Structure 1
Amino acid sequence: MKKQHKRKAVKNFKIKKTYRSGKSQNKHLTGVFSGNSRGFGFVTPDEDQPAGPDGMDIFIPANAVGDAFHRDRVEVRLTKAQKGSRPEGEVIRVLERGKTEIVGTYVRKKRGGWVFPEDTHYDRIIIVPVQDTNGAEDRDKVVVKIRDFGNRYENPVGRITEIIGHEGEVGADILTIARSMDIPMEFPERAIKQAERVSDHVIEGDLAGREDLRSWKMVTIDGPYAKDLDDAVSLTKTENGYILGVHIADVSNYVQENSALDREALKRGTSVYLADRVIPMLPERLSNGICSLNAGQDRLTLSVIMEMNQDAVVEKYRIVESVIRVDERMSYPDVQRILELSGKATEYRDTSNQEKDRSGEISEPERGGKNGIHVGDSNRDTTMSDEELLSRYADYISMFCDMLDLSLKIRQRRKMRGAIDFDFPEAKILLDENGVPTDVLLEKANDATRLIEDFMLTANETVAEEFSKKEIPFVYRVHGEPDPEKIERVLEFVRKQGVKIEKKKQFITPKEVQQVVESVKGTGVESMISIVLLRAMQQARYEPTCDGHFGLAAKYYCHFTSPIRRYPDLQIHRIIHDCIRDRMTPEKIQHYKEILEDVSRQSSMTERRAADCER
């Protein structure tokens, strides 16, 4: 029965002859195979085995893949390895399977059926014999466990272990995408139990050694429906400038290193924000509860308190363990309206940009119809009139105006040093009550969103500089210089569009990229040129070495401000606590040196996975 199914499915594929090359290099390497929907793939060699110039990946033609699947660890033989060109090879054998369960769409046949993988890295249909269909119906979204990986002549065979839902069913397609990318959907029982044991309020013992900032005037500013509130801000205007406080949820107080909660958080790496749901890094009891900086509640935090002069230069700062009590839970739309009504806003548009990694329901926009693309505000809070809004927050209006003044100065300083600002609107998919997409809304940044961004960036840079200069093991956010050849091709394209480019040296600087972006603002080619420049940039990543951030034109940078939803932030909070409490012993330093490379690699991988899923 099994062979009968295999032969029938293979008729749908063009079987090629075994790969042969003119001159074998007889060199064998090991690495991880990345598949492609067109049948070919690439092998990324293990770190100690560079395959060609600059350690380029090895190209594997479709007829040389053998029975390798995406993410398998394989042994390859080089067949072409000429200087200056990408090496080619063929898979000799699979050393370790990267994945044994595939998510896809089940198509019923006379005897059993086929599963078409959701992930386009897999190019082969999986055969499911009739006895292994597990009751799946035609066009169901399923999980299939592979029990025979087949070969270049025969398709893999598996059995269905889970039915996610039917094609077109509310939520089924989104769940299928998440499952196909191995994003964990449920928390392990041990992690849930640990979360349940955490107190839902701050206990007296946790206050020891903390600065009491509960009397400080401070607010959170987020999307109106966000529930995982990582950060609060405070600002005092002084004779010499400003005292800016950035207060971040102290998640590390509740998630102990190497606990079940911590292991699951590292596995997830980040919260994932989808059109109809959030897949959190931490259980909601923590992310929306004791860790969230909810107004009127005592909360444990790590605070960066920065004394800044009139030009927004940080002259002095302190990083302290603290306890706070947020006064008001503000939303971006409300703060923007207050700035507009106060005559302080830099632009008067009814727009808002809820950060892409903030959770929230989305309401129907005020303008625009169904099934279109519009620029608008998906989070506008219309429950208060302008007069009611100004009256409700009268005690905070001057602080918001001072915040905007400081934000503009910070942004100008960042611009002067060459930071690149790709101001792309963010697309939001609007769903009806049945989870069916009805509209796409383009949201643009405004003063309220920018001031929070500016304050978070300032805190991140301050913390990164502190620990880099101390030479303490740390996790940094790194963005490398673009590849010279790649950027040169892009610049040549840009020149052909009539854009003047000044590039003084071999390697382009952030300021030179910024000047190109500025020169095309408001023109018909702005979007196109911004996109090609962005694609020429390297992908930001996490590293245990402080190698700077090209896009921000920053020598020091890290992610410190979002420990509820990003693991690197949680990791460096532990390091900061150890330093504050004089626990950074030689043994602790060695411990961090041993783990931070793996933490950085895992965090970078899960960030890319989440971004792919959210797209």
Structure 2
Amino acid sequence: MSTHQPSPPANSLVLYKVHPARIVNLGEKIEIELAGGQSKRVRAKDIELLHPGPLRSLTELAPQQGEPEAAWELLEGAETTLQELAELAFNAFTPATAWAAWQLVADGLSFSGTPAAIRARTREEVERIRAERGAKANAESDWQAFLVRMADSCPAPEDGARLGEVERLALGQSERSRILEALGHEQTPINAHRALIQVGYWTDRHNPYPRRCAVPTAEPGQPVPGLIEEDRLDLTALPAYAIDDVGNQDPDDALSLDGDCLWVHVADVAALVATEGEIEREARARGSNLYLPEGVINMLPAGVTEALGLGLQPLSPALSFALRCDDQGELLSVAVHRTWIRAQRLTYDEVDGRLTEEPFAALRALTDRFRARRTAAGATSLDLPEVSVRVEDGRVTIRPLPRLASRELVADAMLMAGEGAARFCLEHAIPIPFATQAPPEAGEQPRDLAAMYARRRAFKPSRLVGAPDPHAGLGLALYTRATSPLRRYSDLLVHQQIRAWLAGLPTLTAEQVTERIGEAETAAALVRRTERLSNLHWKLVYLKDHPDWQGQATIVGKEDRKGVALVPLLALETRLRLREEPALNQGLRVAVRDVDIPAQTVSFRVLG
């Protein structure tokens, strides 16, 4: 029989939410007293009767001694009342035993229900709940022990699976970490990165940026078809020079001089990579090669470079641009041929020592005229510091790249080929992506480091568009990228279009070109971001490895009462807090103060 009454009498024990309460007064609303003496006016439906009383004070609800286990065994699987349960478990039905009996129901192990309808669970149910509670208690104990180990930076081997949650946040793959939250840390990728280093899950040398930027980190593995038989102009008797950095593994351009004709030979990648197919789709999705200090992740399968890299085989198939220009460096004619060449590989340093020899002297004279024409048209020449960052066997090396005349010669020849390719495609209505750049505000050619720094910041990024437009930074009215098809998808696309036209086959439409270049450039932007962040990461690792490093810095700007400085030996930009107002181009000797690898920051102190 239920003890529930619609209107409980005064001084009765009732249940309000999950708390015991005593009825004080009855009226339109019922006044109840809660633990601590607090009074509250509630509706009748907000309370449930546990015992009619009299209950003079809630302090009478003391813990009770009894045999609740025996009561459950007698009632197992049956329906009961709160009064019966109290009498079986505690040998009486008083306010105190009623509350104690209700606590057995509220606990939920042996009994369930409401004050008006209680059920004793079956043995199977009790054993299941007990096992679940035991597992939960063990899990909580294990969790607390794990948090202690994390706080002490002493994780156990079995903690690796849990730390994957923090790693996902560090890699930008999730936005929350229960672990960092429990430890009281702000949930950011930087804090997750820092925590993983502190507990030894990552070392401070671990580079997370390829995965954080979600770029492919495995080499493409599509099968590479063989070259098809087709007519090619035989230029194997004409010396061709593939000039690159030491250790370059993807030589995709070479130079020849035949009288007044400059030949720029480019690896004929489109001969193996068709406009449709798995290799093309993968290259488009990657956008470009990924150049990391740890190594190169290629856009194309290794078999393409092995077959087509200029100078890697005795004979190399090429797409060759024949360029002639006048004494003012203006292009007079452009022709494009499928060719065979025999390329000799040289380094920039080797060629720099031979610039007074032929054909290098004549090549330099030709590209110098081209450069002078571009300079007159507003091209900007920036001599900002550049370095090569490499990681070999865990050791970081940073090598400044000198400003070599041989490097300028090759760069100008490639720009001439880009202008020639753009003109060729425009004349023959071949849809391609044109490279453009809006001009900065008018200004003189920068002569010092601070002016060059400011000039670079004033330029807008270059863009690839479907219609020709000037490239202000290069001083060219017409330009496309066409000399690195092994490394950049946009160059490969230009080659595919030119080759289709040469073969009399349909080219992609302007809309198709725009769509493809949009997809590839989105991917290439992630690659460039990954390269920038990875290079900075390894520069900071280098400084961490060399805490006593000192070097020269040059003030190139002023910002928020700080001097903006470039550290040439590291090609690193930093902010310096100075006692006095710095002068632009002022040189300072600096030393490392602090390196924060997760935050990607380094601070320097000024010496003297």
Choose which of 351, 360, 384 in structure 2 pairs with 1:335: 351
1:451 correspondence with 2:409: yes
Choose which of 300, 307, 310 in structure 1 pairs with 2:317: 300
1:609 to partner: Cα distance: 2.1
1:538 correspondence with 2:460: yes
Any conservation in 2 of the 1:229–1:294 contact (CA below 8 Å)?
Answer: yes
CA gap of 1:579–1:138, structure 2 versus 1, over 3 A, is: closer
**AA at the equivalent of 2:389:** I
1:131-210 equivalence runs, <5 A? 134=161, 136=163, 146=174, 166-168=201-203, 172-173=206-207, 176-187=208-219, 192-195=221-224, 198-199=225-226, 205-206=228-229, 208-210=230-232
SS in 2 for 1:480: coil
**AA at the equivalent of 2:499:** H
CA gap of 1:263–1:442, structure 2 versus 1, over 3 A, is: same
Q: Distance in 1 between matches of 2:470 and 2:429?
A: 15
1:312 to partner: Cα distance: 3.6
Q: Distance in 1 between matches of 2:452 and 2:393?
A: 36
Tell which structure's C-alpha radius of gyration is larger: 2
1:71-150 equivalence runs, <5 A? 110=144, 134=161, 136=163, 146=174
Choose which of 503, 512, 523 in structure 2 pairs with 1:606: 523
1:477 correspondence with 2:495: no
Any conservation in 1 of the 2:222–2:278 contact (CA below 8 Å)?
Answer: no
Any conservation in 2 of the 1:476–1:557 contact (CA below 8 Å)?
Answer: yes
Equivalent position of 1:415 in the other structure: 375
CA gap of 1:412–1:593, structure 2 versus 1, over 3 A, is: closer
1:112 to partner: Cα distance: 6.8
1:318 correspondence with 2:361: no
Q: Distance in 2 between matches of 1:304 and 1:516?
A: 31
CA gap of 1:304–1:178, structure 2 versus 1, over 3 A, is: same
1:169 to partner: Cα distance: 6.7
1:603 to partner: Cα distance: 3.1
Equivalent position of 1:275 in the other structure: 293
Q: Distance in 2 between matches of 1:583 and 1:149?
A: 55
Percent identity among equivalent residues?
24
Choose which of 431, 436, 441 in structure 1 pairs with 2:399: 441
**AA at the equivalent of 1:400:** F
SS in 1 for 2:221: helix
CA gap of 1:533–1:134, structure 2 versus 1, over 3 A, is: same
**AA at the equivalent of 2:450:** M
CA gap of 1:531–1:258, structure 2 versus 1, over 3 A, is: same
CA RMSD, aligned part only?
Answer: 3.5
**AA at the equivalent of 2:493:** Q
Equivalent position of 2:361 in the other structure: 401
Any conservation in 2 of the 1:305–1:317 contact (CA below 8 Å)?
Answer: yes
1:440-589 equivalence runs, <5 A? 440-482=398-440, 487=441, 508=442, 513=443, 515-517=444-446, 521=447, 526-584=448-506, 588=507
Any conservation in 2 of the 1:247–1:301 contact (CA below 8 Å)?
Answer: yes
1:253 correspondence with 2:212: no
Q: Tell me the TM-score normalized by structure 2.
A: 0.55
**AA at the equivalent of 2:361:** C
Any conservation in 2 of the 1:146–1:156 contact (CA below 8 Å)?
Answer: no
Q: Distance in 1 between matches of 2:212 and 2:421?
A: 37
CA gap of 1:430–1:300, structure 2 versus 1, over 3 A, is: closer
Any conservation in 2 of the 1:236–1:399 contact (CA below 8 Å)?
Answer: no
Q: Distance in 2 between matches of 1:181 and 1:294?
A: 34
Any conservation in 1 of the 2:383–2:449 contact (CA below 8 Å)?
Answer: no
Q: Distance in 2 between matches of 1:132 and 1:263?
A: 40
1:143 to partner: Cα distance: 5.7
CA gap of 1:465–1:140, structure 2 versus 1, over 3 A, is: same
Q: Distance in 2 between matches of 1:408 and 1:548?
A: 21
1:42-61 equivalence runs, <5 A? none
**AA at the equivalent of 1:604:** E
SS in 2 for 1:194: coil
More helix by share: 2
> 1:36-65 deviations in whole A, cap 9, x for unaligned?
xxxxxxxxxxxxxxxxxxxxxxxxxxxxxx
**AA at the equivalent of 2:437:** H
Q: Distance in 1 between matches of 2:370 and 2:291?
A: 29
Equivalent position of 1:364 in the other structure: none
SS in 1 for 2:482: coil
CA gap of 1:109–1:140, structure 2 versus 1, over 3 A, is: farther
Equivalent position of 2:281 in the other structure: 263
SS in 2 for 1:255: coil
Any conservation in 2 of the 1:410–1:454 contact (CA below 8 Å)?
Answer: yes
Q: Distance in 2 between matches of 1:212 and 1:166?
A: 58
1:596 correspondence with 2:513: yes
1:605 to partner: Cα distance: 2.5
Q: Which runs of 5+ in 1 are unaligned?
A: 1-107, 114-129, 345-396, 488-507
Any conservation in 2 of the 1:271–1:566 contact (CA below 8 Å)?
Answer: yes
**AA at the equivalent of 1:134:** A
Any conservation in 2 of the 1:270–1:280 contact (CA below 8 Å)?
Answer: yes
Equivalent position of 1:372 in the other structure: none
Q: Which runs of 5+ in 2 are unaligned?
A: 1-141, 148-156, 533-608
Q: Distance in 2 between matches of 1:109 and 1:598?
A: 51
